[in-house]
A and B are shown apart, each in its own frame.
Chain A
Amino acid sequence: DQQVKQNSPSLSVQEGRISILNCDYTNSMFDYFLWYKKYPAEGPTFLISISSIKDKNEDGRFTVFLNKSAKHLSLHIVPSQPGDSAVYFCAAKKSSGDKLTFGTGTRLAVRP
């Protein structure tokens, strides 16, 4: 039972344009969401997070949007840069809990 889903295994965008990565979840107990970026042969690197009491969180070029009623979140990267090329994982947890539940990842390629 995949509780966190990233339905797009890959995404390719032009440098300077917007990248939008999507994530859906099924467990209504999740109330804290995170995005991690992963380069080959490295561990996941924390990018940005959002609590369920918010619907938007912004950090520089990265913005995460949360739609609780749809159980959907998205990560926007504007403008996209070639160095953003990596695998992006969506993760969810209960704020009172410990373990993260990850999606299967989306591979982003930013073309120069």
Chain B
Amino acid sequence: GAGVSQTPSNKVTEKGKYVELRCDPISGHTALYWYRQSLGQGPEFLIYFQGTGAADDSGLPNDRFFAVRPEGSVSTLKIQRTERGDSAVYLCASSLLRTDTQYFGPGTRLTVL
């Protein structure tokens, strides 16, 4: 079956621009997570959705980062006024229920010039 998909696979933008990253979770999965992986590091938690609501956004680094999941399926991570330090691979994961195994998408590599 189809796994988690993320678009675009690569995004290059200029400092100060706005970007949107999209995640399509596995069909039927109620929980959706965003992580960020910087070079040489493991993935770091950003935000978790249960259904349409953000149940835990404690990992968002600042108010330039925002995520939505309006219909409880697809999610969009939005980054305003991008900075060079935002360059990383942004990973999305989904699980059937909150406590189940998380399955990851291939990630979006964001480069801020």
Contacts and interface: CB of A to CB of B under 8 A. Distances in A.
Interface of B: 4, 31, 33, 35, 40-45, 48, 50, 55-56, 59, 91, 93, 98-99, 101-107
Contacts of A96: 99
Contacts of B42: 4, 6, 89, 91, 102-105
Given A41-B106, A98-B56, A46 B101 contact: yes
A98 B43 contact: no
A34 interface: yes
Interface in A1-51: 4, 6, 34, 36, 41-46, 49
Given A98-B31, A98-B56, A99-B33, A43 B44 contact: no
A30 B28 CA distance: 27
Contacts of B40: 104
Which range contains the number of A residues in contact with the other chain?
20 to 34
Contact of A95 (B43, B45, B48, B99): B99
Q: Which 8 A-B pairs have the closest CB atoms?
A: A102-B42, A43-B104, A99-B45, A98-B48, A44-B104, A43-B106, A102-B43, A43-B105
Contacts of B45: 99-101
Interface of A: 4, 6, 34, 36, 41-46, 49, 89, 91, 95-96, 98-105
A55 to B, nearest CB: 20
Contact of A102 (B44, B50, B55, B105): B44
Given A44-B43, A45-B104, 13 more contacts: A4-B42, A34-B101, A43-B105, A89-B42, A95-B99, A98-B55, A98-B56, A99-B48, A99-B56, A99-B59, A102-B42, A104-B40, A104-B42
